[in-house]
């Protein structure tokens, strides 16, 4: 298994130093699988290719660093646990409806020293209602048909529409304020009076400050109606 895993990680361009932890996770998985139904794949080489490397390939498709991720229906920890072992710089929530699996994942994370992992025992539809758009990314593997899964995962993801419009509003307001400050100091340097422009500057500052609390709720309302569809 080790040779297959290291060759696969190298082919994917991923760090091989994490291989020992992946192998330890696979060992724990197969050991626990003898008393709990975690996986139907039990051959060492198949675990390496069909579980570990298959999940690791996600890191070549998206940058997880600095994000918050929920793994819906994580089961035995795929792909969430593999992603956490290979990349430590993101917050991970492992979500599953079976309490025994969640307890095993929590114990495994503690024993292996994996940080920034939260293991949650809950049904996806219930958890999504309480944590709507609380995560940057949502992953899932072998849980449901793709159209149904896409609908479910959309409840977890933060809307890039809301985030981008909100950031634009804030940036524009900040730019207007900074512009007026710059004009003020340039006027001082050139020895020109700023008094004639002062009322305009005050109005610009006030409108900029008012734009943020007024327009941001509008962005959120748009997002609730169809933001996720627009993002896709």
* Both structure tokens of 141: 């593997």
Angle of helix 198-222 versus helix 160-190 axis, rounded to 10: 170
Pick 2-154's CATH classification: 3.40.220.10, 3.30.300.160, 3.40.50.150, 3.40.50.300.
3.40.50.150
pLDDT at 36 over 80: yes
- Average pLDDT score over residue span 153-167: 54
Higher pLDDT, 231 or 94: 94
Query: Is 70 exceeded by the pLDDT of residue 145?
Result: no
Rounded Cα gap, residues 96 and 20, in angstroms: 26
Using a pLDDT cut of 90, give the percent of the chain over it: 50
Give the mean pLDDT of 123-145. 78
Higher pLDDT, 176 or 2: 2
Rounded CA separation 41/57 (Å): 18
Domain boundaries, the chain: 2-154, 160-231
Give the model confidence (pLDDT) of 168-224 as tens digits. 555 666 666 676 677 667 666 666 555 566 666 666 667 666 666 666 666 656 555
pLDDT of the residue at 158? 55
Binned at pLDDT 50, 70 and 90, residue 232 comes out as very low
DSSP, res 138: E
Q: What is the mean pLDDT of the chain?
A: 79
Between CA 196 and CA 204, with CA 200 as vertex, the angle to 5 degrees is: 155
pLDDT of residue 228: 44
| Highest-confidence segment of 21-25, 123-127, 150-154, 227-231 | 21-25
Tokens of 102: 């969640």
Task: Using pLDDT thresholds of 50, 70 and 90, give the confidence band for residue 128.
Answer: confident
Statement: residue 226 has pLDDT above 70:
no
């Amino acid at each position: 298994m080790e040779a297959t895993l290291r060759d696969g990680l190298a082919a994917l361009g991923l760090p091989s130093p994490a291989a020992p932890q992946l192998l330890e996770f696979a060992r724990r998985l197969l050991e626990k699988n003898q008393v709990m139904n975690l996986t139907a794949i039990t051959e060492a080489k198949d675990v390496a290719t069909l579980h570990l490397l298959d999940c690791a390939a996600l890191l070549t498709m998206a940058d997880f660093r600095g994000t918050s991720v929920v793994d819906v229906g994580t089961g035995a920890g795929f792909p969430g646990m593999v992603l956490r072992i290979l990349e430590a710089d993101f917050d991970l929530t492992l979500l599953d409806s079976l309490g025994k699996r969640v307890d095993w994942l929590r114990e495994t994370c503690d024993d292996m020293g994996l940080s920034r992992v939260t293991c949650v025992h809950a049904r996806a539809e219930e958890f999504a209602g309480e944590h709507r758009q609380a995560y940057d990314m949502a992953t899932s593997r072998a849980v449901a048909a793709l159209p149904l899964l896409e609908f479910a995962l959309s409840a977890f993801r933060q809307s890039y529409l809301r985030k981008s419009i909100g950031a634009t509003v804030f940036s524009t307001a900040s730019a207007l304020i900074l512009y007026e400050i710059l004009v003020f100091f340039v006027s001082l340097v050139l020895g020109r009076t700023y008094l004639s422009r002062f009322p305009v500057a005050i109005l610009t500052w006030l409108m900029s400050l008012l734009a943020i609390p007024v327009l941001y709720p509008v962005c959120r309302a748009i997002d609730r109606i169809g933001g996720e569809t627009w993002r896709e």
